[in-house]
Amino acid sequence: MKKIILSLLLLTGLSAYKASAQMETARKVKWDVEKGADINMELDAVWNIFQNNELLKKASNGYVSAIEVIDTAMPISRKVVFSNGGDRLESITQNEAHNKLIAIDFVDSNLPKGIKAAQYAIFFKANGSKTNVKWRAMVKGDNDAKQALMKQLNTEFDSYATGLDKMTKTSIPAVKMN
């Protein structure tokens, strides 16, 4: 009987150790760029803007001149054309309405020189009648190229935060009643 109990304890201990070892591999993601903004709109309204390319272009505050969907099958391929004439090919790898999360990878063939990989994610969270939007990006590559892309992404995310804020301030004046 002692051997059976000892064996069970040993198996239980090994199982717990193995589970603990597996948990150690889960690490916190270190983001290179983080931008957050509280938008004075309901969560679903902000989410819908990010699902509509024309509204998303408007929300970019002039930073983006066009968003063209190349392939609608997941991962969704799209081309973002910037007002300065540049463009970027992206793959939307996650678009989760239930988690209010969008994850986007830069297409490798379109990466700036010196960049090995780049991706960003947009997180949406209700905050009362407002919505908190967080943009987070990871960039891998040479230091100078990485710094340049991080600066570009900060500018892009700032443009969206400003544009979304402006969208909340556009109102139609009430008609004067006699």
> Is the predicted pLDDT of residue 143 greater than 90, yes or no?
yes
Note the pLDDT of residue 19. Answer: 46
Model confidence pLDDT, tens digit, residues 60-99: 999 999 999 999 999 999 999 999 999 999 999 999 999 9
Q: Is residue 78 a contact partner of residue 70, using CB atoms and an 8 Å limit?
A: yes
Residue 58: which residues within 8 A CB-CB, separation 6 or more?
Answer: 163, 167
The rounded distance, in Å, linking the Cα atoms of 119 and 140 is 9
> Is the predicted pLDDT of residue 176 greater than 80, yes or no?
no
Exposure string of 143-168, with b = 16+ CB inside 10 Å and e = fewer, is: eebbebbbebbbebbebbbbbbbebe
Query: pTM, whole model, 2 decimals?
Result: 0.78
> Is the predicted pLDDT of residue 171 greater than 80, yes or no?
no
Please give the residue that has the higher pLDDT: either 17 or 2.
Answer: 2
The rounded distance, in Å, linking the Cα atoms of 106 and 112 is 10
> Is the predicted pLDDT of residue 13 greater than 90, yes or no?
no
Specify the DSSP element, H or E, that contains 107: none
Please give the residue that has the higher pLDDT: either 20 or 123.
Answer: 123
Domain regions of the chain by residue span: 28-169
Q: What is the CATH number of domain 28-169?
A: 3.30.530.20
Model confidence pLDDT, tens digit, residues 44-54: 999 999 999 99
Query: What is the token pair recorded at 124?
Result: 């949406």
